[in-house]
Chain A
Amino acid sequence: MAITRANILTNTVARQQYIQGVTLLKNEFTGPTTSSLGIAGPSRQVSTYDLFVVWHHTAMLTMTPPTQGDRNAAHRGPVFCPWHRFMLRQLELNLQRVLNDNAFGLPYWDWAADGQKTAAQQKTSAIWAANALGGSGHPVKTGPFKFNATDPNSFRVRIEADVNGQLVQRDHGLRRTLGTQISTLPTKTDTSSLLTLTPYDAAPWDTSSSGFRNRAEGWAPPAAPALHNRVHVWVGGDMLPSSSPNDPVFYLNHCNVDRIWEAWLTRQGRTYLPLQTAPASLRGHRINDQMSSLISPPTRPSDVLDMRSIYVYDSLAV
C-alpha cells in the first residue's frame, strides 16, 4: 500500500517525525570517511545525512556529458525532476529505516501558499517557528536545528562546498537569511501556470528551454530566479551553495517540486523527454540513462515516472 506525503504545516506527526529522523541520520555513521571521499583535512566519519550533501554536490559538479559546461547530472537539464525524485525517495527510505516506520512519508512545504502573503509575513510563516524548522540566523538560533557551540549534539554543518567548488570540512551552525537575497517567494499563480506547460522539456535541453522542467527549475520567466531556484535564494545561507541539502528545508522544497511534477504528470500523462534515441550529447538526461548515485544502486528516469504504488500526495492542488 502506498504511503502518503503530507503538508508539513498541517500534519504535526509527519513534521515531528521528519525532525526526529533528520537528527538521527545526522548522527548515524555507517563507515564512509572524509578521506575515503577525497575531502581534505583530518579523516572523520561522514554521517548518513551528510552523505546526501556529498551526493548532491557531486551530481552538481558532474557535467553531462563532460564535453559541455551547462547541464550537470542533476540540474540545468531534463534530469532535474527525476534525479531529485530519486534523491527524495532515498532520504525517505532512510528516514523510514531510522524511525522504524515503513509508513512514514516525506512531508512537503507548500511555499507558494506562503508566497501569497506579504513579504514580511513570509518571513514569519509557521514553517519558521521554533516548533517547526526554526528561523533565520547566522547561525540559526531557534528550533530543532539551532546552534549551540558547547553542545556536541547540536545540529552542525560539517561538510560544505567552498568558493572553488570543493567539498571542505567545517564546523558551524546552520545559516539562513530568509527574504534577504530576494524578498518574496513564488506565488500560486506561478505554480498553477506550470501545469499547462508542454512538453516536459525541449531542445536545446538547457536553461533556455521551453516546457515544464525549465520553468519549474526556475530559469525561465516570469522572473528568474523563479519557482524552485527562487526558494533556494529566498531561504539563503546554506541553501545557496551546491551543498544546499545541509539545510533540512532543502527536502521540503524539493518534495513540493516533486508534488508539482506529480500534478503535471497526472494532468499531461506520464511522459518524459528526451527519449533514448536522442544523441549522445544528451547523455545523462535521456529516459533510460543511469542517474548519478552515491548511497544506493543507480536508477533511471523511466523508473520513477510512476511512483503511485509507493507514495501519493495528500493533495495535488498546486
Chain B
Amino acid sequence: MPSRKSLALPTTKSIASSVKKHAGQVKKIQTLRHGEAETVREAEYRGHHIVVRTRYDIEVDGRMVMGHMGVTNDGKVHYHPVPNMAFVSAIDMVKKLIDVFPDDFSSTGMGRKAGRKKKKARMAHRYK
C-alpha cells in the first residue's frame, strides 16, 4: 500500500514547507562543477580486478564544458544533462550538446581561432 504521508493531497503550505526542507539538495547540485572530471570503470575478469580511468577535458570555442559526463563499460559516453542519449564518441556527444543547448552557444560559433585565443589567455592567467 502506498505511504499515506507521501501521497496525501498537498496544500500550498505543504509544498512550501517540503521545498524548504529539500532545498539543500537542489543547492548542492547547483554548486557541482565536473570539468576535467575523471571517469572510473571497474570490472572483474578471471579473478582480476580491472580499473580504467578516463579523463575528458572538453572545450567548445575555447570554453570549458563542465557538466557531468560518464563512460559505461561498453565504451559509450553519456552526459547527464542530456539524459536520454548515449554516444559512441565524445565528439558526437559535444556536437549534440551544441544542438540541444542553443542558448549556450552562439548561432555561428567562434571557431578554432577564438578557441585558441581563449585557451592562450587562460594558460597565461594560470602561470602568472
- Judging by beta carbons under 8 Å apart, are A232 and B2 in contact? no
Chain B: how many interface residues by the 8 Å CB criterion?
55
Chain A: how many interface residues by the 8 Å CB criterion?
73
Q: Mark A28-46, 1 if CB is under 8 A from B, else 0.
A: 1011100011111000000
- Judging by beta carbons under 8 Å apart, are B22 and A36 in contact? no
- Judging by beta carbons under 8 Å apart, are B10 and A93 in contact? yes
- Interface positions, chain A 44-102, Cβ under 8 Å from B, are 48, 51, 54, 57-58, 60-63, 69-70, 72, 75-76, 86, 89-90, 93-94, 96-97, 102
**Known contacts A163-B67, A164-B67, A208-B73; A51/B86 CB under 8 A:** no
**Known contacts A89-B7, A163-B67; A51/B15 CB under 8 A:** yes
Determine the main DSSP class of A at the interface with B.
Answer: loop
Q: Residues on A close to B: CB < 8 A?
A: 28, 30-32, 36-40, 48, 51, 54, 57-58, 60-63, 69-70, 72, 75-76, 86, 89-90, 93-94, 96-97, 102, 161-167, 170, 172, 181, 204, 206-208, 218-219, 224-225, 228-230, 232-233, 240-242, 244, 292-300, 303-304, 306-307, 309-310
- Judging by beta carbons under 8 Å apart, are B85 and A225 in contact? yes
When distances are taken between beta carbons in the complex, the residues of chain B under 8 Å from A38 are 23, 26-27, 30-31
**Known contacts A58-B25, A296-B6; A69/B39 CB under 8 A:** yes
The yes or no answer to B50 lying at the interface (CB within 8 A) is no
Q: Residues on B close to A: CB < 8 A?
A: 1-3, 5-16, 18-20, 22-23, 25-27, 29-34, 37, 39-40, 65-68, 70, 72-74, 78, 80-86, 97, 99-101, 103-105
